[in-house]
Amino acid sequence: MSPFEAVAEPNRRRILDLLREGERPAGDLVAALAISQPGVSKHLRHLRDAGLVSVRADGQRRLYRVDPKGLAELEAWLAPYRHFWAGRLAALDRHLEREQ
């Protein structure tokens, strides 16, 4: 699965949002998302396969975290669009200042 396919699913984006705050065990994700444990495990597997999440063992627990290397492909694709939005937001800012 590509990183683009992985982030296309809303629950996987929610998992990434939670993991952005720091490393978490799968059980915390289940509680935070109100999704079944098998459902969260499936989403985590897709995120790992896409290179967006990594896992490490901590005793009996498995801790998941965002893998910044996996985000590089998404970042590279988004980079040209940042310029587009920066110009649009600057124009909106100028318009709002004139309206005041």
pLDDT, tens digit, 9 for 90 and up, residues 49-95:
999 999 999 888 899 999 988 888 888 888 888 777 777 777 888 88
| Residue 88 confidence (pLDDT) | 75
Can you give the pLDDT at residue 91? 81
Mean per-residue pLDDT, 7-30: 93
CA distances for 27 relative to 24, 51, 95, angstroms? 8, 21, 47
Question: Rounded mean pLDDT of the chain?
Answer: 90
Residue 54's SS3 state is strand
| Structural domain count, the chain | 1
CATH number at residue 44: 1.10.10.10
pLDDT at 86: 72
Domain span at residue 10 reads 3-99
pTM of the model: 0.78
